[in-house]
Amino acid sequence: MWGAVGRAGLRAFSGGGSPNVGRTLEGKVAVVTAATDGIGLAVAQRLGEAGARVLLSSRRQPNVDAAVQKLRAQGLEVSGVVCHVGQPQDRQHLVQTIFQVNVTAAAMLVKLVVPHMEKRGGGAVVLVTSVAGFMPFPALGPYSVSKTALLGLVKVLAPELRARGVRINAVAPGLIQTRFSAALWQNEATKEQLMSSMGIDRLGTPSDVAEVVAFLCSPAASYVVGETMVVAGGTPSRL
Ligand SMILES: NC(=O)c1ccc[n+]([C@@H]2O[C@H](COP(=O)([O-])OP(=O)(O)OC[C@H]3O[C@@H](n4cnc5c(N)ncnc54)[C@H](OP(=O)(O)O)[C@@H]3O)[C@@H](O)[C@H]2O)c1
C-alpha cells in the first residue's frame, strides 16, 4: 500500500467524518493505492476526514465501487479507479511477484506522482513497509526482505525528493487485524503465541496506522523526512 498527498489548488469541500479530526489536508489531493480494505481503506478515510480529496484504488472494480460508496456515505470527497500495482503477465515466481508489488511498484508510483506534486508546489509520500522489514517473520522470508528494501528506498529517495519539495517517509505496521493477516490472528492459540513473542497486548487496527499516515502527510510533520515510523505496539524493531 502506498499513499501520497499533494497540493492541488482545488476547491475546498466540506467533508464529513469525526469533528475531532483537524482538517490539516484541506485543498490537497490524496492518492492511496490498495485502498479498498484494511490499512489502505482506513488511511483513505482518515486523509479524507483531514480534508483531502481522495483517489483510491485496488485491483477489483467491485471493491473500488464499494469503498467509494462507503466513504462518500460519510460525506467524504472520494473517487476510485482500478489499479493493479504489479504486472501479472510477468509473474513466473512468487518471489518475483512479491518484489514486483512491494518494491518495484512503489518506486514506479513515486516516480510517476512526484512531477505532478512538484508542479503544484510540493507534497508528501508515505510508503507502507512492515515491522517484518526489521525483524523477519518466520516463513515469510521474501516478504520480509521486500519490506526491508522499502526502508532503503525511503532513505535513497528522501534527499532527491526533498530538493523537489516532496517529503517521503514510511510506516511499518506490526500485526494489524485485517484480511491480509487473518491467517496470523484467526486461530486463538496462534494469535496468543504470536502476541507473546512480539511482546504486544493487543492487535493493531487499521486506524492505528491511518493516524500516523495522516500525521506524516500533515504540516505538523514538515521536518520529518526519510523516516520509517513503526506502528507495532512495542514489537521489537531494530535491524
Ligand atoms: N495487516 C498486517 O498485519 C500488516 C502488517 C505489516 C504490514 N502490512 C502491510 O500493509 C499493507 C496493507 O495490508 P492490509 O493488512 O491492509 O491488507 P488487506 O486488508 O488485505 O487490504 C489489501 C488492499 O490492497 C488491495 N490490493 C492487494 N493487492 C493489490 C495490488 N497488487 N494492486 C492494487 N491493490 C491491491 C486490496 O483490494 P483488491 O483485492 O480489490 O485489489 C485491498 O484494498 C501491505 O503492504 C502489507 O504488507 C500489513
pLDDT tens for 60-72 read: 999 999 999 999 9
Take atom 39 of ligand 1 and give the residue whose Cα is closest.
59
Pocket mutation for ligand 1, best pick of 59, 103, 127, 198 (most atoms within 8 Å of C-beta): 59
Residue 61 and residue 84 in contact, taking contact as beta carbons nearer than 8 Å: no
Q: pLDDT value at position 91?
A: 37
Average pLDDT over residues 200-228: 97
Question: Which pLDDT band, with edges at 50, 70 and 90, does 160 fall under?
Answer: very high
CA distances from 38 to 95, 131, 153 (A): 23, 17, 24
pLDDT (0 to 100) of residue 68: 96
What distance in angstroms lies between residue 11's CA and the mean position of ligand 1's atoms? 31
For the chain, domain boundaries: 2-231
Q: Options 1.10.1060.10, 3.40.50.300, 3.40.50.720, 3.40.190.10; which CATH number does 2-231 get?
A: 3.40.50.720
* Rounded mean pLDDT, 234-239: 89
Most informative mutation of 2, 31, 36, 39 for ligand 1 (most atoms within 8 A of CB): 39
Q: Quickly state the pLDDT bin for 140 (edges 50, 70, 90).
A: confident
User: Judging by beta carbons within 10 Å of its beta carbon (0-12, 13-18, 19+), is residue 64 exposed, middle or buried?
Assistant: buried
Centre of ligand 1 to C-alpha 163, Å, is 30
Output the pLDDT for position 20: 54
Q: 104 is written with which cell numbers?
A: 518495484
pLDDT over 90 percentage in the chain = 72
Of 13-22, 75-84, 126-135, 145-154, the poorest mean pLDDT is in 13-22
Q: What is the average pLDDT score of the chain?
A: 88
Ligand 1 centroid, distance to 233 Cα (angstroms): 20
Please state the separation of Cα 34 from the chain's center in Å.
Answer: 8
